[in-house]
Structure 1
């Protein structure tokens, strides 16, 4: 009986610890990447604030710039995203978060992998979390982190 109690207690603590690793506002970032994978331009627009800015590997983009590069490919391309949260600070209506993103692009020509070091500012506007800023630095293959534990995005 006591063993069962401690087993249940340990399980609840483990579940809460896992939940604490991913703040509520991260769902919006997750949704934005799902929209990127699905080439869903409206969902991309819906997940960002009106003043959204993307700092993409040395360039300044808005949501329309991002959408402009997210066009259907001639061959079937599948994008699978993975994340690893480094740290975050969440306040009442503001989330700042730093994380790794890895994407595997599967196509008829084979698989390619890309990794980015990213940070984001997510704001709660009218009760909804929206990405206000995303800073993304693409890494060359030789600089991919070896010790990062990535978690696959569930679409």
Structure 2
């Protein structure tokens, strides 16, 4: 293998490591919403810190408050995201993102959209959400240029 090929491989590895490092904090957010969709309270707790705070539609919640509203239902929830920005420094990160949940029950479908931000702390090499701030947006107010991608865990 020539020097140029080795250099190209090296640069590719650096770019993918950098992309992974930026995506890693947001994975905790995706995993929280996946656990919410599955109504899996243990998985929800696993991706947040002990002092987790959720600012939800004008209310201050902790994990127990969130768990109390996440109950089994006949609806199937799918989660869609668009990351606006990720910033990290050492064991601290924050992300801002668009979040859409599609709730389906038979022929009935309803979309709920939020603009959210999360503060994350690295705990034993794993990103955990310490604080999540959620602002509900009317689905028709979602900017037209935002492309949401479904998260499948």
TM-score tier after normalising by the smaller chain length: 0.7 to 0.9
Give the total of aligned pairs.
Answer: 144
Mapped to 1, the partners of 2:144 and 2:65 lie a distance apart of: 31
Which residue number corresponds to residue 72 of structure 1?
72
Q: Name segments (4+ residues, structure 1) moved above 2 Å.
A: 15-23
Aligned to 2:33: 33
Q: What is the Cα-based RMSD across aligned positions, in Å?
A: 2.2
Q: In 2 relative to 1, CA 147–18 (structure 1 residues): closer, same or farther, beyond 3 Å?
A: farther
Q: What is the DSSP-based 3-state SS (H/G/I as helix, E as strand, rest coil) of the residue aligned with 2:32? A: helix
Q: Does the aligned pair in 2 maintain the 1:101–1:115 contact within 8 Å?
A: yes
Indicate yes or no: 2:148 matched with 1:139: no
Aligned-pair distance for 1:27? 1.3
Q: 1:22 to 1:92 in 2, by over 3 A?
A: closer
In the alignment, which residue of structure 2 is the partner of 1:110?
108
Give the Å deviation of 1:109: 5.0
Three-state SS of the structure 1 residue aligned to 2:80 is strand
TM-score by length of 1: 0.84
Q: Which segments of 5 or more consecutive residues in structure 1 lack a partner in the other structure? A: none
- Retained in 1: the 8 A contact 2:22–2:87? no
Please show how residues 1-150 of structure 1 align to structure 2 within 5 Å.
Answer: 12=12, 16=16, 19=19, 22-73=22-73, 76-150=74-148
TM-score, normalized by length of structure 2?
A: 0.85
Q: Distance in 1 between matches of 2:22 and 2:106?
A: 34
